[in-house]
Chain A
Amino acid sequence: MTALDRRPAPDEYGPVDHGPVDEGVVDDRAVDYGGLVTDDFRVHRSVFVDPAIFEEEMVRIFGGTWVYLLHESQVPRVNDFRTVNVGRRPVIVARTADGTIAGLVNRCSHRGTLLCPLEGGSAARFQCAYHGWTFTNTGRLVGLPYPDGYRSSFDRRDLDLGRLPRVESYRGFVFGSLNPDVAPLTEWLGPARAVVDWAVDSQPEIRVLPAATMVYHGNWKLQNDNNGDMYHTPFTHRSTAVMTEQRHGTGRLLDHFANDQGPMAVRSFGNGHKMIDQRAAIDSPWDRTRPLPGKEAYGEQLAQRIGADQARRHLEHVGQSGINLILYPNLHIRGNGSLYVYEPVAVDRTLVHTFVALLVDGPPEVNALRMRFAEDFINVGNRDDIEIFERAQQALTDVGDVEWVDVSRGWDSGRERIEADGSVTGNVADETGIRGGYEQWKRLMAARPTRTVADG
């Protein structure tokens, strides 16, 4: 019998308690983060460029609140797993034997090695490649080679994997938190919950697949801000608008935003969540979608198979359905067809992982077209966004003597209104949602969470 064969009895281990934070170990910088966002909504450049503030965000924001992990459809079966990052911490998200989802810190408790280097797969146990320490997908240390070499007081229970103390799911979207004291997920979603409901209920069941990943040399908040910003659309995306009109005429997506008036709105839901609501201006996503590879062939094929009316109903699910919902800090639900997930890498480097949502029982034509639709904006519009983020990062970094940026558009203008659910609605081109993000930034940055699992 080898050491690897030794399995603990199920009741051998109690709950993991990593103990209180040792305040003496970590320098809790005496910075007045609140002063970096003014009452009239200017944001200090250091929020985007200071590496020490970024490090603190990884503790207070990505270690202090709910962070989006993945969609349940990415780990459908018991033992399925995917690796993600919570802030920068590598985390294994696994479907465990009882069907629940666990988040494990992807770091061997022995000598600190990344335990699993793969993007995903299926495994009940993870064995470290370094010395063979083996853990279940609930994080328990169950294999320790040559255990006789350890002293009698050595307690293996201290060496389970770090585990996210909170993992909760809402309508298929799985979030985790390193902070055990965070509010329940539904409470944290607040009024944004109704928009998640709309995104889920407005179409049949979805299956989420990873698509392209974009990388840019800029702070993660530039992308977060931008997804709640309609002010930039006619300027940043002028190339897309001009090309579309030249080649495909008027009445297409982007064309529906001509100025800052109209039926669309921006909303701030609290806790940093925000939305651009374009639904009132997009009558038919299918008609407004610029020609896609296969648009005509699959449109006709579907109509011939199931009839024109049914086909039209399905085809309206191909393109952008009119919402950009951003759940702070890292999830962007783009209509009902795709997801963008922001991963901060450094103060000036960010990954944007994109995902396509396919319909589990939907027509294959619609699913193929959904992917062609998602590939389009990533390679057309998003590249201009990213260029702008890099220009912003460059000047914010290099110009130290002009210190502030302004996100006050629409504030105190008399045109914002508070809704019955407590959310704030503004003109679509106002910076209402961005301000909500910075209010949440201030709130989270005001204090370190009492504990995070990484403090063990």
Chain B
Amino acid sequence: MVDHLAEQAAVGPLDDTRYDDVLAFFGVNVNWSGAAVATGDPGIADVVRREARALDARDYEGWLALFSPGCVYWVPRNDEVGDPRLEPSVHFDDYRRLADRVALIRTGHLHAQTPPSRTSRVLSEVECRQATADLADVHSSLIVHEQRRGRSQVYAGRQFHRLERTGQGWQIRYRVLLLVDRDVSQGNTTFIL
């Protein structure tokens, strides 16, 4: 059993302040039509690329290590996205739940990943909207081609990352994935989108 109090202390509370911040982050990014900024720091876009690479490699521990303890991974459900406190999402996960999902795969008993999915991600249009010394918002387009037990499926969407500079370098504080089929149906996404 993990040390919950320690994990929770590191994660920090998912309270109204955090919800407000995630929602504000989404709001300023979703309708952005400005010009990308040059950051001069290749580490920023690299985090987003490493995330895609780690998931394709099923290196879930490496993937999780890209997130900061105070992270939120949000996949909205509705066409018109509203406040996740007031409407259901496909995912609204904190670090602890992301760790649950990785642990679930690693139990060896997850039938939904027996055998595992093979995925190939195309990450494109990576742009930095805003960067300060310690904070960067990154936009990208994502296409995930998944194959499992002879059946192929494509998931596509636009994603927004907020990165923060921590002791471990740039880490993901928020990731919002706006799937094009978010309000229709999802298949077996236990491989982690």
Which A residues have a C-beta under 8 Å from some C-beta of B?
A: 119, 209-217, 236, 238-240, 242-243, 245-249, 290-294, 296-298, 301, 351, 356, 364, 367-368, 371-372, 374-376, 379-380, 383-384, 386-388, 390
B88–A296 touching, CB < 8 Å: no
- A211 and B88 contact, CB distance less than 8 A: yes
Which of B29-37, B134-142, B164-172, B184-192 forms part of the interface with chain A? B184-192
Complex contact A376–B89 (CB within 8 A):
no
Flag whether B155 is at the interface (Cβ < 8 A).
no
CB within 8 Å for A368 and B99 given contacts A242-B109, A248-B4: no
Which of A238, A301, A386 lies in contact with B15, CB distance below 8 A?
A: A301
Q: CB < 8 Å: which of B13, B19, B97 contacts A376?
A: B97
- Interface class of chain A by DSSP: helix
Q: Which 5 A-B pairs have CB atoms at the shortest separation, nearest pair first?
A: A211-B88, A297-B13, A294-B14, A297-B15, A383-B112
Contacts of A375 in B (CB 8 A): 88-92
**Complex Cα gap A216–B14 (Å):** 33
Choose, from B42-50, B60-68, B100-108, the stretch at the interface. B100-108
Known interface pairs A239-B111, A242-B107; A383-B1 also in contact (CB < 8 Å) = no
The stretch of B51-59, B79-87, B124-132 in contact with A is B79-87
A314 CB, nearest partner CB in chain B, Å? 15
Query: Does B88 contact A239, Cβ atoms closer than 8 Å?
Result: no
Instruction: Give chain B residues whose Cβ lies under 8 Å from the Cβ of A372.
Output: 92
> In the complex, are the beta carbons of B14 and A297 less than 8 A apart?
yes
Question: Bound complex: CA of A211 vs CA of B92, how far in Å?
Answer: 12
B15 touches A294 (CB 8 A): yes
B38 on the A face (CB < 8 A): no
A380 touches B101 (CB 8 A): yes
Interface flag for B20 (CB, 8 Å): no
Other 9 A-B pairs with CB < 8 A, given A238-B107, A371-B85, A387-B114: A209-B87, A214-B185, A239-B110, A243-B107, A246-B1, A293-B14, A294-B15, A356-B88, A368-B85
Min CB distance A301 to B, Å, is 7
By a CB distance below 8 angstroms, the chain B residues around A390 are 149
Cα–Cα distance between A436 and B107 once the two chains are bound (Å): 35
Contacts A212-B88, A246-B107, A375-B89 given: A290-B100 contact, CB under 8 Å? Answer: yes
Q: In the complex, how many angstroms separate the beta carbon of B96 from the nearest chain A beta carbon? A: 6
Contacts of A119 in B (CB 8 A): 183
Question: A210 vs B110: C-alpha distance in the bound complex, in angstroms?
Answer: 27
Chain B residues with Cβ under 8 A from A379's Cβ?
A: 90-91, 101, 189-190
Q: Which of B86, B93, B104, B149 has the most CB of A within 10 A?
A: B104
Which residues from chain B contact A217 at a C-beta distance below 8 Å? 151
Binary interface encoding of chain B residues 1-43 relative to chain A, with 1 for a CB under 8 A from any of its CBs, else 0: 1101000100001111001000000000000000000000000
CB-CB < 8 A to A356: which residues of B?
A: 88
The size of the chain B interface, using a CB distance under 8 A, is 45
A249 to B1, CA, bound (A): 6
Please name all residues of chain A whose beta carbon is closer than 8 Å to the beta carbon of B146 when the two chains form the complex: none
Pick the most buried of B72, B77, B151, B184: most chain A CB atoms within 10 A of its CB. Answer: B77
A215–B110 CA distance with the chains assembled, in angstroms: 18
Residues of chain B contacted by A388 (CB below 8 angstroms) = 111
Q: Give Cα distance in the complex from A455 to B77, angstroms.
A: 37
A–B pairs, 20, beta carbons within 8 Å: A210-B77, A210-B88, A211-B77, A214-B186, A236-B111, A239-B110, A239-B111, A243-B107, A245-B1, A246-B1, A294-B15, A294-B19, A296-B13, A301-B15, A367-B85, A375-B91, A379-B90, A379-B189, A380-B101, A380-B104
* In the complex, chain B residues whose CB is within 8 Å of the CB of A386: 112, 188
Partner of B188, one of A209, A236, A238, A383: A383
Cα distance A147–B93 when bound, in Å? 57
Q: Which residue of B16, B100, B188 is within 8 Å of A380 (Cβ)?
A: B100
Contacts of B100 in A (CB 8 A): 243, 247, 290, 380
Given contacts A210-B88, A375-B90, contact A298 B188 (CB under 8 A): no
CA distance A290 to B149 in the complex (A): 31
A247 and B99 contact, CB distance less than 8 A: yes
On whether A384 and B112 interact (CB within 8 A), knowing A246-B103, A247-B100, A375-B90, the answer reads yes
CB distance from A229 to the nearest CB of B (A): 15
Distance (whole angstroms) from the CB of B147 to the closest CB of chain A = 15
Tell me whether A371 and B84 are in contact in the complex, defined as CB-CB below 8 angstroms, given that A213-B184, A213-B186 are known contacts.
Answer: yes
Across the interface, name the chain B residue whose C-beta is closest to A213.
B185
Give bound CA distance, A239 to B116, whole Å: 14
Contacts of A293 in B (CB 8 A): 14, 72, 92-94, 96-97
Q: Are A238 and B109 in contact (CB under 8 A)?
A: yes
Smallest CB-CB separation from B184: which chain A residue? A213
Instruction: Report Cα–Cα, A371/B15, bound state, in Å.
Output: 15
Across the two chains, which residue of chain B brings its CB closest to A291? B96
> Complex formed: what's the CA distance from A287 to B58 in Å?
33
Q: Please name all residues of chain A whose beta carbon is closer than 8 Å to the beta carbon of B110 when the two chains form the complex.
A: 239, 383-384
Q: Which residues does chain B contribute within 8 Å of A246, judged by CB atoms?
A: 1-2, 103, 107
CA distance in complex: A364, B85 (Å) = 8
